[in-house]
């Protein structure tokens, strides 16, 4: 079993655990393990058989047991059980309709359906409006999306080499680090992210907005302090930008001068570029 296949199964397991309201720390642990496996140089299956897989960062005894089960049997029993219980095809249809995973499951429970086909039948029979939170406008939007379901959809994202060039230039301009899909070496990158640190995030955000790579500011989200969101039209419908700021953990800096110890906070600015509905080939 190849590393990429193992990582995909761990990612799927993490996603289904999240849908099942599992402990967020457990979900993050499996996502980190998937990243570690995907980026490992040696074949992880061989490390599992040799009892050395815990040498990889982030692999504890629980995840080691899942990996051993996957390598030896080709499947994770709990993953198969979660797939039966949570109906990923139904969740996938919900996402196509613009609903989040939890909202999709809530709608399915309200309608008494368990599969994507049953949800389509419920919509066709006019039962959507009987579900809590589904008004006439939402029902019309969902029905319109279902009517377009069979139509071919344009590809999304940028190929890795083009995405790397774009996000690399932004990272260099902000003295930041590449993150997101490019750092994970995804073949097709839908969200480009740069993380940088600054005592005051606003100058970095202003610098980001003025970069030639950025077409339009779609949203600004400053955590721990109020911020207004602005939306404007993009010159290129295939490219838009999102940026946000978040506070990093507090750190303490010490000095032996008369001023004594001072507490400082660092703020991390995160600039993500959401890519629209055209790909670069």
pLDDT averaged over consecutive 10-residue blocks of the chain (281 residues)? Answer: 88 80 86 90 92 91 93 88 71 69 77 80 85 84 77 57 72 78 68 78 79 70 40 36 36 34 36 36 32
Q: Are residues 91 and 79 in the same domain?
A: no
Last residue of a domain, one of 68, 83, 98: 83
* Residue whose pair of structure tokens reads 């982030």 in the numeric block: 58
pTM for this model (two decimals):
0.42
Whether 256 maps to a domain, the answer reads yes
Are 136 and 189 within one domain? no
260: left (phi over 0), alpha (psi -120 to 50) or beta: left
pLDDT for residue 217: 65
Buried b (16+ CB within 10 A) or exposed e, 120-159: eebbeeebbeebeebeeebbeebeeebeeeeeeeeeebbe
- 130 and 238 co-located in one domain: no
- Overall number of domains in the chain: 3
Same domain, 189 and 255: yes
User: In the prediction, which pLDDT does 262 show?
Assistant: 35
Question: Do residues 236 and 140 both lie within one domain?
Answer: no
Q: Is residue 152 part of a domain?
A: no
Same domain for 178 and 111? no
Q: Could you tell me the residue range of the domain that residue 48 belongs to? A: 3-83
In a domain, 128, yes or no: yes
Does residue 184 sit in the same domain as residue 110? no
| Predicted pLDDT at 271 | 38
In a domain, 153, yes or no: no
Asked, for residue 222, whether it belongs to a domain, the answer is yes
Are both 36 and 126 inside the same structural domain? no
Any domain includes 279: no
Q: Where among 51, 83, 115 does a domain terminate?
A: 83
| Res 134: pLDDT | 84
Last residue of some domain: 83, 103, 123? 83
Same domain, 114 and 173: no
pLDDT at 227: 31
- For the stretch 71-124, pLDDT in tens is 999 988 888 887 777 666 666 677 667 776 677 777 887 888 877 788 888 888
What CATH number is associated with residue 47? 1.10.150.110
Q: Tell me, yes or no, whether 70 lies in a domain.
A: yes
Q: Examine the domain organization and report whether 197 and 121 are in the same domain.
A: no
Dist. CA 150–CA 139, nearest whole Å: 19
Domain identity same for 257 and 165:
yes
Same domain? For 74 and 122 the reply is: no
Residue 43 belongs to some domain of the structure: yes
* The pLDDT of residue 274: 40
């Amino acid at each position: 079993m190849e590393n990429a296949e193992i990582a995909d199964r761990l990612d799927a397991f993490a996603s289904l655990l999240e849908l099942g309201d599992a402990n967020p720390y457990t979900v993050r642990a499996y996502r980190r393990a998937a990243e570690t496996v995907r980026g490992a140089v040696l074949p992880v299956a061989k490390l599992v058989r040799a009892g050395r897989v815990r040498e990889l960062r982030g692999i504890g005894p629980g995840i080691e047991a899942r990996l051993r089960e996957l390598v030896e049997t080709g499947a994770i029993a709990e993953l198969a059980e979660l797939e039966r219980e949570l109906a990923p095809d139904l969740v996938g249809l919900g996402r196509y309709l613009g609903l989040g995973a939890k909202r999709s499951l809530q709608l399915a429970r309200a309608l008494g359906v368990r599969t994507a086909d049953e949800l389509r039948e419920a919509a066709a029979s006019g039962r959507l409006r009987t579900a809590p939170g589904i008004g006439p406008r939402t029902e019309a939007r969902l029905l319109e999306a279902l009517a377009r379901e069979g139509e071919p959809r344009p590809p999304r994202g940028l190929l890795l080499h083009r995405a790397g060039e774009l996000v690399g230039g932004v990272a260099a301009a902000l003295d930041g680090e590449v993150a997101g899909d490019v750092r994970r070496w995804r073949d097709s990158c839908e969200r480009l992210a740069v993380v940088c640190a600054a005592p005051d995030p606003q100058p970095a955000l202003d610098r980001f907005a003025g970069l030639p790579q950025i077409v339009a500011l779609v949203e600004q989200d400053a955590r721990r302090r109020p911020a207004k969101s602005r939306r404007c039209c993009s010159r290129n419908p295939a490219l838009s930008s999102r940026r946000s700021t978040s506070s990093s953990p507090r750190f303490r800096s010490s000095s032996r001068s008369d001023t004594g110890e001072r507490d400082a906070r660092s703020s991390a600015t995160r600039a993500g570029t959401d890519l629209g509905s055209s790909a670069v080939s």
